[in-house]
Amino acid sequence: MSLTRTLTLLVTTTVLLIVLMAAAWSYFESNHELEELFDAELAQHTRVVQGLVRYLVETRSPEPLSHILEETLHAGAVGDANSDFDEELPGGQGHKYEKKIAFEIWSPQGEPLLDTLVTTEDLKLVPGYSWVESTGYSWRTFTLRDADTGYWIRTAQREDIRSELSEDLAIGNVLPLLLALPLLTVAVVVTIRLSIRPLNRLEGLVRHMAPEAIHPLDDRHAPQEVTGLVGAINGLLHRLDEALERERRFSADAAHELRTPLATLRLNLEQACARDPRQFEDLLQSVDRMVHLVEQMLLLSRVDAGVDFGPDRQDLAAILEQSIADVTPLALQKDIEPSLDNSTREAMISCHSALISALLRSLLANAIQYCPPGSTVETMLDAAEGGFRIRLCDHGPGIASKDRARALDRFVRLDQRQGLGAGLGLAIAQRICEVHGGTLSLHDRPDGQSGLCVEIWLPAYQGPVA
């Protein structure tokens, strides 16, 4: 699993859990606080009624007291209390929720003066909060006794209205958290991706670093947490560059040192062959194979080191024609006919002509080597995808699909019985393509016949026209 995906999953999960816990806590805490507020409001209503009762008792005679309280505290027939519409009653008469608030008043002798609750429970007047059942609903009540007048006063609120209001307000407090959660998640994902971007830049530098141009990574913009890792990678790159340089020097030095003794050995063998050709013929072929191997190692060493490569505007068609002409004597020895099908009017590329010539001659010679006598080697050149494609097809035994990737490795010969090569031809060709920004791939013949097609793609020249 990637670091970005892991961090995103962990952080978003943590944020989700924290927000949900905060929302749940806010919901239940809001509900509790609102219930407390409703209880306080209930007690306040009761004390207001207590003051009204005390005033009426002191200023009025007891006879009209019940009638006055009924007119003052009972909402009367002011609209339908169960209607879902017109919560505010017409004419400014009040609010339909007044029907959800009830008042009860008893005289010191226990006689009811006002009862808008109409409860059927046995009368047990106890100061404080309690619950009663009336008209099919639960009611929250607060009861007190006026010490001056001796009157009992109880105010009640319907439980479903209290729950509805408290839930609405609690949800109103929680809703912003839930709405902010998707935005918070997106912000977390974007922040993590932006934080990982320096690592992606370092990855790109390592991914596109060529073996012939190894350089240390710039740790100035690297996160502090990976500075040590960048330093360790730079140390590894330095050691790797030294090892590759030693390998290149060894290959070049060995090839140079072998050229002179091999040339002397071949000269002596040629003189011996003049006296007795059949006695030294096999030995002469072995020396030729060693000379060819040395030349290939020198070429590969130059390509890997990046020497002798100065991009220049060249005509790929002309280089291809000259390369076919160079291998024609070799083809004629086996009665093989090389052909060229050029569908381009101009095939200008930026390249080192000597390297491209070596690439094409190596592939053509390889095709001639494996082709049976009397067959053909077809070469096609056409424009393709911002560059030019060369397809070189022979009638040899071909290479199985499972072995094609291995055939491009160095010093790999799939069939030791054929040819005199050392397994470097395809590896050198692929390396030259890579140096020029191109690609090399192996395919079956498109006509279904036995053989192998080597396909090369090289980018077109992008510089100014001379």
137 forms beta bridges with 134
Give the pLDDT of residue 88: 57
**Tens digit of pLDDT per residue, the chain (466 long)?**
567 777 778 888 888 888 788 778 877 877 777 788 888 888 888 888 888 888 888 777 666 767 777 766 664 444 444 444 455 555 555 556 566 778 888 888 878 887 777 666 666 778 888 888 877 788 888 999 988 888 888 888 888 877 777 777 777 777 777 777 788 888 888 887 787 777 777 777 777 776 667 778 877 767 777 778 888 888 888 888 887 777 767 666 666 666 677 777 777 777 777 766 666 666 776 776 666 666 666 666 666 665 555 667 889 999 999 999 988 988 988 899 899 999 888 889 988 887 888 888 888 988 898 888 989 999 999 998 889 999 999 998 888 888 888 888 766 665 544 545 556 678 878 888 888 889 999 999 988 888 999 999 999 988 765 5
Contact 138, 131 (CB under 8 A): yes
Residue 134: what residue type? S
CA 116 – CA 92 distance, rounded (Å): 22
Q: How many other CB atoms sit within 10 Å of the CB of residue 89?
A: 15
The CATH number of 3-76+94-171 is: 3.30.450.20
Residue 156: what residue type? A
Residues 6+ apart with CB under 8 A from 313: 348, 349, 350, 461, 463, 466
Q: How many other CB atoms sit within 10 Å of the CB of residue 195?
A: 12
pLDDT, tens digit, 9 for 90 and up, residues 282-311: 677 677 666 666 666 666 666 666 555 566
Please give the distance of CA 49 from its chain centroid, rounded to a whole number.
Answer: 68
Contact 79, 92 (CB under 8 A): no
pLDDT, tens digit, 9 for 90 and up, residues 386-431: 899 999 999 988 888 888 888 887 666 655 445 455 566 788 788 8
CA 222 – CA 207 distance, rounded (Å): 16
Give the pLDDT of residue 378: 93
Superfamily classification of domain 308-459? Histidine kinase-like ATPase, C-terminal domain (3.30.565.10)
CA 188 – CA 218 distance, rounded (Å): 28
CA 321 – CA 325 distance, rounded (Å): 6
Q: How many other CB atoms sit within 10 Å of the CB of residue 336?
A: 22
CA 411 – CA 297 distance, rounded (Å): 10
CA 388 – CA 458 distance, rounded (Å): 5
Q: Between helices 425-435 and 353-370, what is the axis angle to 10°?
A: 150
Contact 294, 253 (CB under 8 A): no
Residue 51: closest CA among 156, 146, 143: 146
3-class DSSP string for the chain: CCHHHHHHHHHHHHHHHHHHHHHHHHHHHHHHHHHHHHHHHHHHHHHHHHHHHHHHHHHCCCCCHHHHHHHHHCCCCCCCCCCCCCCECHHHCCEHHHHHEEEEEECCCCCEEEECCCCCCCCCCCCEEEEEEECCEEEEEEEEECCCCCCEEEEEEEHHHHHHHHHHHHHHHHHHHHHHHHHHHHHHHHHHHHHHHHHHHHHHHHHCCCHHHCCCCCCCCCCHHHHHHHHHHHHHHHHHHHHHHHHHHHHHHHHHHHHHHHHHHHHHHHHHHHHCHHHHHHHHHHHHHHHHHHHHHHHHHHHHHCCCCCCEEEEHHHHHHHHHHHHHHHHHHCCCEEEEEECCCCCEEEECHHHHHHHHHHHHHHHHHHCCCCCEEEEEEEEECCEEEEEEECCCCCCCHHHHHHHCCCCCCCCCCCCCCCCCHHHHHHHHHHHCCCEEEEECCCCCCCCCEEEEEEEECCCCCC
CA 324 – CA 392 distance, rounded (Å): 11
Q: Break the chain into its structural domains and give their ranges.
A: 3-76+94-171, 211-307, 308-459
Tokens representing 39? 């209880």
> CATH classification of 211-307 is 1.10.287, yes or no?
yes
Give the pLDDT of residue 119: 67
Give the pLDDT of residue 390: 93
CA 130 – CA 139 distance, rounded (Å): 8
Contact 453, 442 (CB under 8 A): yes
Looking at beta carbons, which pairs linking 231-238 to residues 24 or more positions away fall under 8 Å? 233/206, 237/209
Q: How many other CB atoms sit within 10 Å of the CB of residue 293?
A: 19
Of the CA atoms within 13 Å of residue 269, those in its CB half-sphere come to 17
